[in-house]
Structure 1
Amino acid sequence: MAILQSFFIFILACFFEVGGGYLIWLTLKEDKPIWVGAIGGIGLVIYGIVATLQVQGFGRIYAAYGGVFIAFSLIWAFYFDGFKPDKYDIIGGCITLIGAGIMMYAPRNIH
């Protein structure tokens, strides 16, 4: 259950970070209204809060989140921006998820 909860928190954080960044991107690069970027900024603040819901320490959370972020960004770009990942994008995204999983969920001997 703890692994599913942790994974859900990562996905929720991704929605706010990638979504928020994307809205700011649209405002600055594609001439969307400033309020779109402002909503993106709020999303980025919420992302920072959501990430603190993880139970591990900062270093491991943010390092592992980087892998989840990479894979999620590829999926977001595919669905919302018309990006067509090639096999190397997909392989790289899978590798980052494997690395994040090892970092977060490998059994450790805690003394």
Structure 2
Amino acid sequence: MLILRSVLLFALAAVFEIGGAWLVWQGVREHRGLVWIGAGVIALGLYGFVATLQPDAHFGRILAAYGGVFVAGSLAWGMAVDGFRPDRFDIAGALICLIGVAVIMYAPRGG
């Protein structure tokens, strides 16, 4: 159950961080304005809060593992929202990152 909670928190954090960055991108690069930028800043703040809810207490471990989630999540966001089509190397890289997440977060550790 602890692993499921952790995975769900990583997914929620990804939505807030990637979504927040995308909103800022839209506000600045696509000239959608300050409301989009402000919403992005709020979402990025929520990402920082959600990261603190992980069961593991080590900041460095959480953020390192989240880096892999961010890589895979960014590709998925691009596919869902911007019509991006990853190639086999994008997919292979994302899978390698997710394996890294699993090793960092869920490998058994001694006492």
Letter in 2 for 1:90: I
What are structure 2's unaligned runs of at least 5 residues?
Answer: none
For the residues of structure 1 that align with 2:69 and 2:53, how far apart are their CA atoms? 16
In the TM superposition, residue 20 of structure 1 has moved relative to its aligned partner by 0.3
For the residues of structure 1 that align with 2:33 and 2:82, how far apart are their CA atoms? 18
1:103 aligns with 2:104: yes
Segments ≥4 residues shifted beyond 6 Å: none
SS in 1 for 2:84: coil
Give the TM-score, by structure 2 length: 0.97
1:15 aligns with 2:15: yes
Give the TM-score, by structure 1 length: 0.97
Letter in 1 for 2:20: G
Please list, as runs of the form range in 1=range in 2, the aligned pairs for 1:18-29 lying within 5 A after superposition: 18-29=18-29
8 Å contact 2:2–2:55 — kept in the other structure? no
Report the equivalent of 2:72: 71
8 Å contact 2:17–2:44 — kept in the other structure? yes
Q: How many residues align?
A: 110
For the residues of structure 2 that align with 1:30 and 1:81, how far apart are their CA atoms? 13
Report the equivalent of 2:34: 34
**Percent of aligned positions with the same letter in both sequences?**
51
For the residues of structure 2 that align with 1:30 and 1:93, how far apart are their CA atoms? 27
In the TM superposition, residue 33 of structure 1 has moved relative to its aligned partner by 2.1
